[in-house]
Structure 1
Amino acid sequence: GSERISSGIDAAAERYSADVQWLADDVRQGRGLGSEGLARAGLWMETQFESIGLEPAGDDGGYRHVFGVPIADPSNPHAQKGFVYAFNVIGRIRGNGELEGVVLIGAHYDHLGFGGEGSLEPDSRAIHNGADDNASGAAALLEAARQIQLRRGQLKRDVVFMAFSAEERGLVGASNIVRRPPGELDMESAIAMLNMDMVGRLRDEKLSVLGGDSAEEWDDLVDPLCDRYGFECAIGGDGFGSSDQAAFFAADIPVLHFFTGTHAEYHKPSDDADLINSEGGARVAWLVSDVAGTIANRDGVLTLVKTSDGPQRRMALKARLGTIPDYAGPADGSPGLLLSDVRPDSPAAAAGLQRGDIVVQIGDLEIASVQDYMVVLSEANPGDTAPVTVIRDGERVELEVTFGAPR
């Protein structure tokens, strides 16, 4: 009950804080692809997996799952033929085998190094420590593993833990696991994938659980656990989105992405460990360990929902813009549709909409919430144009969108 939570969470928060600080230390040089800092972070994740007691589940009996990433600059002396190598770190806790299937939990441990492409301060050559993105998720992965390891005697299915690399280059590590699963892992047996990306900035107990529409059962499974841990969860959205779960959802696996929301330091050198809410991050890890344990021990599999017509969205959407809403809404609680991302090559991208924009009006309709936005998409036709007002860095910006056809 809540006594176990309150008594244990302080120690968990201390472990969590120490792990975030290690990963997001300047010594790690921002954990950029091809850097010594990233390689050392991967080695450190391996040693953590081992000390927690996870069984190696990578290639050749080890924890590592190595893959190549094509890079744009073949003159890089560290690259072989325009490739740089990276590795995922994968471990397993065995259940008692009573139930078929495996539950996957993941978080990426790479970041942007010294910035460059992907940085929102592209001109600054400074270490981007990526404390929230995603030392916070990697630390939560370790804490979730500790909690599940404590209860492994009750597990009926295996749980596999995956620390992804090269997420910032386009989900490359996760995609490689889906394409060529290491060891005895196979995607057919994966019944769910839980992703933690940016879980370190909990404010007002608000937690986004994206991908909540990817299985019919998610709401009923996750909601009571959110209550148990004192979160105000917004559960919804399809399984796509801009983090590693998208690779698994594309392989027809129900997914969730736990996310404490965007902030001004996103993809900037200022995303540092001193801004992390360690108690919140540890509590997210405990929640995820409980969600994983619940799925590992319940009979039957989850019912995949492939389209975006989950329970929240009964209305037929006639048009599309290609935005990815942040279901938690603007951080200050003001009305509007906060964009957690904009899909590339989408009508929204063509109109100049950006991650972090708050959409407040489309055409004649004021947009106070995701629901208002759905109304617009259910009434507009492909090819229609409409003026859009967004708030960007506190200023109102006027744009014009041309609606596309729904996917």
Structure 2
Amino acid sequence: MKNSILFFFFLALVGCKTEKQKIVSLEEDVSFLASDSLGGRETGTAEERIAAAYIQERMQGLGLLPKGNAGTYYQTFTFKPKTDPHSEVQFGGGDSTITGTNVLGYIDNKAEKTIIIGAHYDHLGMGGQGSLYREGEAVHNGADDNASGVSVMLQLAQKLKDTLHGSNYLFMAFSGEEMGLLGSNYFTKNPTVALSTANYMINMDMVGRLREDKTLSISGTGTTPIWPQVLNSTNPGFKLVLQESGVGPSDHTSFYLHDIPVLHFFTGQHEDYHKPSDDSEKLNYTGMEMISAYIYAVIKELDDKAKLKFKKTKNESEEVPRFKVALGVVPDYLFDGKGMRIDGVSEDKPAQRAGLQKGDVVIQLGDSTVTDMMSYMRALSTFEEGNTTNVVVDRKGAKVSFEITF
């Protein structure tokens, strides 16, 4: 009965598009995908399939061609979920398998180059592994993560249709990202468009919380020599935080590993990350419009240019130290000052028990000076459970010292 109600709800929202094509706003897309009715869009669930049907209907309404399997918009894949977090997921049928569904739409401009524009649409369902919520099961709506990216992707499809003709465009809504980039990984091993034609890949994951200072993180800027020049020349006023590495915890990584230049757009973590409170009314839709326009400008700048040259980058994730303890904070990954700024403090963890607050900037941990995220992580990796040390923070211009026990 529940699935029937959800299906009719979906029909009510999108049925009007079959009568007359209309412009669907970013907010409308996010509101549907992040509604309680979709139960958090966990990979392989009936609710994720309803979200896939919505995205397929939107792509069809925009005039995108199906580019999944057998003339459909869908590319399904089955896999066995991880039991050992250090083992690789095995694709293929068998007992205890889950089926994910990528949704693919295509603009065929008869060009030699193809631009891949993607965003994952799955989320955490009712919580479970990956959730930072500690009060039992609840719907994790995932408005920022990542209904925001899907809605911007669909708006870009609307903008690119019948405007820029120097490339073909493949739009992809990935499944299985939260379980380990599964949908994008599967596509790159089973492409429905020849990867040899791929010029570059743009990934949007969590682009819904642009801050007042307009800080925007873009990763992958070292994957082709021209990225910094293009990004700076088309920048409409963002405070850019550019990171060279093509490897990161989102779907662009799968394409980078196949020697395709990538960009990943991200507006930063927040206290609602991987919690039920990541709701649609908290998004900055004006900021999302700005990001959409910026990406369009980047694509336009390269429309008549030659195919980009791929360049390998340092894998920064290989340098991340391993930890035996946690401070219990959400770092501000967009902070570009000296130290590690705290963007959120977890309940009943060492940081909260010691008195640290959101907005504090950690400048010393034990005997180590903290100048950035990497130096913070190196310092944290030296401690074990039960250790006690001092942490010094910059709190509104004043240096404050706390004793902290892990």
What does 1:354-393 align with in structure 2 at a 5 Å threshold?
Answer: 360-361=363-364, 364=367, 366-369=369-372, 373=375
**Do the aligned partners of residues 181 and 221 (structure 1) sit closer, same or farther apart at CA in structure 2, a change above 3 Å counting?**
same
Q: Give how far 1:399 is off.
A: 8.9
The match for 2:348 is none
Once residues 48 and 161 of structure 2 are traced to their aligned partners in structure 1, the CA distance between those partners, rounded to angstroms, is: 26
Distance 2:230 2:364 in 1: 35
- The aligned residue for residue 117 of structure 2 is 105
Q: Which structure has the greater CA radius of gyration? A: 2
Equivalences for residues 6-405 of structure 1 within 5 A: 15-71=25-81, 81-97=95-111, 100-152=112-164, 155-182=165-192, 185-203=193-211, 204-226=213-235, 228=236, 230-307=237-314, 321=321, 328-329=334-335, 335-337=338-340, 360-361=363-364, 364=367, 366-369=369-372, 373=375
Q: Deviations over 1:24-66 (max 9, x none)?
A: 0111111112222110000110010111111111111211111
Structure 2 match to 1:8: none
Distance 2:360 2:198 in 1: 35
| Secondary structure, aligned partner of 1:59 | coil
1:290 partner letter: A
Q: 1:361 to 1:192 in 2, by over 3 A?
A: farther
After superposition, give the CA deviation of every residue in 1:168-207 in whole Å (9 maximum; x if it has no partner): 110000100111112xx12222121110000000002111
Please give the per-residue CA displacement for 1:65-86, whole angstroms capped at 9, x wherever unaligned.
110131369xxxxx96211111
Q: Is the 8 A contact 1:111 1:134 kept in 2?
A: yes
Name the CA shift for 1:308/1:361 in 2 (closer, same or farther; >3 Å): farther
Residue identity matched to 1:361? Q
SS of residue paired to 2:25? helix
Which residues of structure 1 form unaligned runs of 5+? Answer: 1-11, 74-78, 310-317, 341-355, 401-407
The answer to whether the 8 Å contact 2:69/2:75 transfers is: yes
Q: 1:373 to 1:138 in 2, by over 3 A?
A: same
Tell me, yes or no, if the aligned pair for 1:236 and 1:327 is still in contact at 8 Å: no
Q: Is contact 2:332-2:342 (8 Å) kept?
A: yes
User: 2:113–2:166: 8 Å Cα contact kept in structure 1?
Assistant: no
Aligned-pair CA distance for 1:249: 1.2
Q: Which runs of 4 or more aligned residues in structure 1 lie more than 4 Å from their structure 2 counterparts after TM superposition?
A: 356-359, 362-365, 384-391, 394-400
Aligned partners of 1:132, 1:396: CA distance in 2, in Å? 34
Structure whose residues are more often helix by fraction: 1
Deviation at 1:211, TM superposition (A): 1.6
Whole-Å separation in 1 of the counterparts to 2:405 and 2:228:
35
The structural deviation recorded for 1:14 is: 7.4
Distance 1:121 1:397 in 2: 27
CA RMSD of aligned residues (A): 3.6
**Sequence identity, in percent?**
34
SS at match of 2:206: coil
Number of residue pairs aligned between Structure 1 and Structure 2: 342
What displacement does 1:283 show?
A: 1.8
Displacement of 1:147 in angstroms is 0.9
| Contact 1:13 1:282 (C-alpha < 8 Å) held by counterparts | no
Deviation at 1:247, TM superposition (A): 1.0
CA distance in 2, matches of 1:66, 1:46: 13
CA distance in 2, matches of 1:91, 1:118: 29
Distance 1:86 1:237, change over 3 A: same
Segments of 5+ residues of structure 2 without an aligned counterpart are 1-21, 84-92, 324-330, 344-358, 384-388, 394-399
**1:322 offset after TM fit, Å?**
7.0
Q: Distance in 2 between matches of 1:112 and 1:397?
A: 35
Give the structure-1-normalised TM-score: 0.74
One-letter amino acid of the counterpart of residue 27, structure 1: S
Tell which has more relative contact order, 1 or 2 (C-alpha 8 A, sep 6+).
Answer: 1
Deviation, 1:286, is 2.0
- How far the C-alpha of 1:123 sits from its partner, in A, is 4.4
CA contact (8 A) 1:213 1:308 kept: no
**Pairwise CA distance, 1:296:** 3.8
Q: 1:366 to 1:58 in 2, by over 3 A?
A: same
Q: CA deviation at 1:219?
A: 0.6
| TM-score normalised over the length of structure 2 | 0.74
User: Matched residues in 2 for 1:250 and 1:48: separation?
Assistant: 30
Change in CA separation of 1:16 and 1:49 when aligned onto 2, cut-off 3 Å: same
